[in-house]
Structure 1
Amino acid sequence: MDRAFAGTRCSKTKLLISKNLKVFKDIDANDKDNLFLVSEYVNDIYDYLYQLEEQQPIFKNHLSGQKEVSPKMRAVLIDWLNEVHLQFELIPETFQLAVAIIDRYLQVIKDTKRTHFQLLGITALFIATKYEVQLPSAIEDFVSITDKIYTARQICQMELQILKAIDYSLSRPLPIQFLRRYSKAAEAKDKHHSMAKYFIELAALDYDLCSYKPSEIAAASLFLSLNLLNGNYRNREGFKDHHWSDTLSFYSRYSAIHLRPISGKIAMLARDAPKAKLMAVFNKYKDNNFQKIALRPELRSHLMTL
């Protein structure tokens, strides 16, 4: 279970009225005595996160212009990084930040060499651990995980190149940050939250989903999770909005209509995951430590193929 998510769950909420006269719940009403949840500032914080993701986009077809790096290579690299991330027992933020760093670098540096591509990936993860983890792994661990193909000096040199390319900014919001907020708004159970995290990690491999904002990926993942686990709510036009309440629309800033096509793309990834060539995320989430989410029967139902 995601500890940060568990710490935000509340049992009672206050009803408020939005400007468009829709009723939604004040999901922070009972958090005023918990200083760690900063209820007084939380909406301002998320306003800032929405601004940041607008300021630091991943553009559609951001690999265009690359001569030696392809979308397939990107997927292979990120799949491998997911395995490394699991081996190092890192938090979700590190993997998601590493993916963001890689994509932001690649859309700026158009002459990335195939021989340095794995170096880019492991260095991005190295940077992410230093940013997100209190006691990050030593650089020697990252050298070792590449079978010593690269040296510590090469990783340090690549670290400088990456930081210059992204203007030393590591503040791009991550899907997991939005997901925790949305899961709280949905009063989601652990299974909903865990399945949404599975969808987010599957989406990270897909080149066509790169240009969607982190908040969109998080919202679409939870939208799909709620629909699959709470009932049969899909027809030939896509997922219905039965489970996407006014409260969720208010806090996520997305309507069900906006999320349906994104959720449909993620559903295809989840449907094909058991037979995909890149299996790191599926293998991870079929384990007991991840509630065997990838093996849930809902992911094999007719809802995933309509």
Structure 2
Amino acid sequence: MCRKGIYDCVNICMYCWGSSKDVWMKMLSKESRYVHSSNILKNHPTLNPDMRSILLDWLIEVAEVYSLHRETYYLAQDFFDRFMATQKCINKSMLQLIGVTSLFIAAKLEEIYPPKLHEFAYVTDGACSEDDILQMELIILKALNWELCPVTAISWLNLFLQVSSLKESPKLLLPQYSQEQFIQIAQILDLCILHITSLDFQYRILAAAALYHCTSIEVVNKATGLDMESISECVQWMAPFVNVTKRSPSPKLKWFKKVQSEDRHNIQTHTNYLDMLDDVKVPDSVVGESPVSIGGILTPPKSTEKTPF
């Protein structure tokens, strides 16, 4: 498969500081280095997939409140899921602390001006203290062996869209794709990542499948080097999520204070994802047993009404 377009785009992203082929191969190698699985809760008998969905939805909301980038949220999601895979018998009362600490770590890595520690404690409305977050930060970092640089699904989407939109004389520092198209596909990924079975797919495959649902296999092949056979399972799994997003109002670009217009699409935004997730009908043959309802426990707080889990 020809990946010339991908190499060209990687060169753009790296400003020609290194070999684009080497950079591309290193990105691919992270798919086997940063492993995730939908079985992350098997060693946590008191937890179920709905609890993870509610926590991640809340993190999306916190990310929007503080105008955090999508990459920050997706890093936090990856840290949370990989951390849970290393642990046993985590109690549900610890989930919010693990989640907000994952976001705290991600923000320090990704944001130029990350929120302060006290702001992360504040959004838990007293459920997590600053000391709690600092202690959990060390626990998470040690459990992850300081492996903090995955290529997230949203990073792959950014790369794939840039490749698919390359022109002969591109403006290297700006995205060549439509911001509206990006947030449309990003909404699909946001919804998908809330479902625990999304972890059965590599992030690259998730991004490619979402791109396929909004474009065509020709675009996917040009941008990713993947053919239909490589993404067909994920495309089929993702179809119910796409159908739900199509029935919902189209996402709109939002204005954020101190965020430049060309960066608006990269800020994480929240919508009624949990309601949308309730409408997703994933075949049992794909997900196995259906998640157990938790009856409103862990209801996430509204942006202006922070309440503890």
Q: Same fold (TM over 0.5)?
A: yes
Q: 2:211, 2:220 within 8 Å by CA — same for their partners in 1? A: no
- Letter of the aligned partner of 1:207 in structure 2? I
Paired residue for 1:80?
58
Q: Separation in 2 of the partners of 1:261 and 1:30?
A: 27
Q: 2:188, 2:245 within 8 Å by CA — same for their partners in 1? A: no
Paired residue for 1:90?
68
Paired residue for 1:286?
251
Paired residue for 2:91?
113
**Cα deviation digits, residues 180-232 of structure 1 (max 9, x gap):** 221122225444333222222112101111121111111111111114xxxxx
Q: 1:79, 1:205 within 8 Å by CA — same for their partners in 2? A: yes
**Cα deviation digits, residues 7-34 of structure 1 (max 9, x gap):** xxxxxxxxxxx6xxx6x654666997x7
Match of 1:194 among 174, 183, 196: 183
Paired residue for 1:135?
113
* Farther off after superposition, 204-213 or 37-46: 37-46
Paired residue for 1:43?
21
Q: 1:97, 1:174 within 8 Å by CA — same for their partners in 2? A: yes
Q: Separation in 1 of the partners of 2:83 and 2:38?
A: 14
Q: Separation in 2 of the partners of 1:270 and 1:35?
A: 29
* CA 1:162–1:90: 2 relative to 1, 3 Å: same
* CA 1:184–1:56: 2 relative to 1, 3 Å: same
> How much has 1:115 moved relative to structure 2?
0.9
- When normalised by structure 2's length, the TM-score is 0.72
C-alpha RMSD over aligned residues: 3.2
Q: 1:192, 1:222 within 8 Å by CA — same for their partners in 2? A: no
**Cα deviation digits, residues 85-121 of structure 1 (max 9, x gap):** 1111011110000000010011110221111111111
Paired residue for 1:162?
140
Q: Separation in 1 of the partners of 2:198 and 2:153?
A: 12
Q: Separation in 1 of the partners of 2:129 and 2:30?
A: 34
Match of 1:208 among 191, 197, 208: 197
Matched, 1:102 2:80: yes
Matched, 1:261 2:233: yes
Paired residue for 2:172?
none
* CA 1:191–1:256: 2 relative to 1, 3 Å: farther
Q: 2:44, 2:88 within 8 Å by CA — same for their partners in 1? A: yes
Q: Separation in 1 of the partners of 2:30 and 2:10?
A: 25
Q: How does 1:240-279 map to 2 (within 5 A)?
A: 241-245=217-221, 247-248=222-223, 252-273=224-245
**Cα deviation digits, residues 246-281 of structure 1 (max 9, x gap):** x33xxx242122223312322312323589xxxxxx
Matched, 1:175 2:153: yes
> How much has 1:174 moved relative to structure 2?
0.9
Paired residue for 2:125?
147
With a CA cutoff of 8 Å and minimum separation of 6, indicate the structure with the bigger relative contact order: 2
Paired residue for 1:9?
none
Q: 1:202, 1:266 within 8 Å by CA — same for their partners in 2? A: no
Q: 1:123, 1:155 within 8 Å by CA — same for their partners in 2? A: yes
> How much has 1:42 moved relative to structure 2?
2.9
Q: 2:53, 2:195 within 8 Å by CA — same for their partners in 1? A: yes
Q: Separation in 2 of the partners of 1:274 and 1:220?
A: 16
- Letter of the aligned partner of 1:198 in structure 2? Q
Q: Separation in 2 of the partners of 1:194 and 1:170?
A: 25
Q: Separation in 2 of the partners of 1:274 and 1:146?
A: 33
Q: 1:57, 1:211 within 8 Å by CA — same for their partners in 2? A: no
Paired residue for 1:232?
none
- When normalised by structure 1's length, the TM-score is 0.72
